[in-house]
Amino acid sequence: MIDIELPKLNNNDTSYVLVEWLAQNGDQVDAEQPLVVIETSKAQEEIESPGAGVLHGLVKPGQDCRPGQVIAHVFDTPEEREAFLRTSAAQAQKPAQPASDLVLTQGAQALVDEHDVSEEALRSLGRKVIRQADVEALLDRTKPAPEAGGRELPAWQRAVGAVVSESMRTIPAAAAYVRVDVDEALSLAQDVSERESTSLSLPELLIKAVARRHAEQPLFFGRLLDDGSVRLPDSADVGVTMDLGKGLFVPVVRDAAALGMRQLSELLMDYRVKALRGAFRASELDGANIMVALHNAEGLVLATPIIFPGQTCVVSLGGTEERLVLDAEGRPVARRHVHIGLVYDHRVVNGRDAMAFLQSLKQDLESPALLDTTAG
């Protein structure tokens, strides 16, 4: 018999929801066959069978489950599964007897152990034999209610809050900003969009500019380790913030420096659709070593995002604004600008290097010809 143990799918959640089984109890399944869909606060992920055999699920669709929990068995033969079912049925008929005079069924005892329900609370039920449904009702009654006029935060917002709290608690962050003339970058985006029959904009150009810094300034993409050293990645895997009203997602553009403009544009469009539908796979949200935070709504000049734990830097993009500047002959002309920000872990990056990083981004966006790559 093989136990199918639920892996940890992200660092933010302590529980998930089992959405659906892709095979039925008693079905013969193959190794690496997708068996079940699990939903985290950010994505849905298919869990594959670790081996071949006969499936028996232990968790019903819609129920919560947690990392490390055994959610199914895969038996070698149908006969082995039948023997397991007979044993389980016999045990279910025998109530568990705690030290007190209360009698708890097996399901009730499991809930009591999981939620640390006191004997006093159990006695408040007024029953000698306590079943699983009784404990479930007790837990519902004792769940803290929001204050009057309050509202419980959704799971995805609580997950965001946990990350923000961890970042603010553990990362000594500093920030710097530059103003960037983006007239040429916007013109390039329009030219490439027409040439490649795609939709290119400043976020794609900024992602490309950030990724180009990896070879010369790898510390900005590093991960600080407990021993004070920094693990340097082989490529720039850029996370990009997206919030279209379904919660904050940060999908990853892997090896962004190797992608052409059309590839970047199509990938970000695919990610925007998934953000709208809440249809990301966990693998698409994991593994970024730097982040680009998009705060480019009209009228928003700049923002200071947090650094995700495990990363060293986050680059922010503000909204586009028009400014009057003097041309070479001293005449006022309208130019389009954005503010680019860099929030960095001061344990890894110093201010001088941070400004050099920002100046490189400014140079790339103000003279963007090198960003126009179509290979990759």
How many angstroms separate the CA atoms of 132 and 136, rounded?
Answer: 6
CATH number 2.40.50.100 given to 1-93: yes
How many angstroms separate the CA atoms of 356 and 344, rounded?
Answer: 13
**246 residue type, one letter:** K
* Pairing of the two strands 290-294 and 313-317: parallel
Cα 346 to its chain centre, rounded Å, is 24
Q: Which residues of 319-331 are buried (b: 16+ CB within 10 A; e: fewer)?
A: bbbeeeeeeeeee
* Pairing of the two strands 230-231 and 223-224: antiparallel
Cβ neighbors of 224 (< 8 A, separation 6 or more) are 230, 312, 345, 347, 348
How many angstroms separate the CA atoms of 272 and 359, rounded?
Answer: 29
Domain spans, the chain = 1-93, 96-143, 173-371
Transcribe 12-37 into DSSP letters: S-S-EEEEEESS-TT-EE-TT-EEEE
Q: 173-371 maps to which CATH number?
A: 3.30.559.10
Distances in Å between the Cα of 15 and the Cα atoms of 94, 118, 142, 189, 197 are 29, 23, 20, 42, 43
Q: Which two tokens stand for residue 38?
A: 């699990």
DSSP state for residue 224 in the 8-state scheme: E
* pLDDT tens, the chain, 376 aa long: 899 998 887 766 778 889 899 999 999 999 999 999 998 877 888 999 999 999 999 999 888 888 888 999 999 999 999 999 988 887 766 655 444 678 888 778 888 888 888 888 888 888 888 888 788 888 877 766 666 777 777 766 777 888 889 999 999 999 999 999 999 999 999 999 999 888 999 999 999 999 999 999 999 999 999 989 999 999 999 999 998 776 788 999 999 999 999 999 999 999 999 888 877 888 898 899 999 999 988 888 888 999 999 999 999 999 999 988 888 888 889 999 999 999 999 999 999 999 999 999 999 999 998 887 643 3
Cα 170 to its chain centre, rounded Å, is 19
pTM, entire model: 0.70
How many angstroms separate the CA atoms of 235 and 271, rounded?
Answer: 20
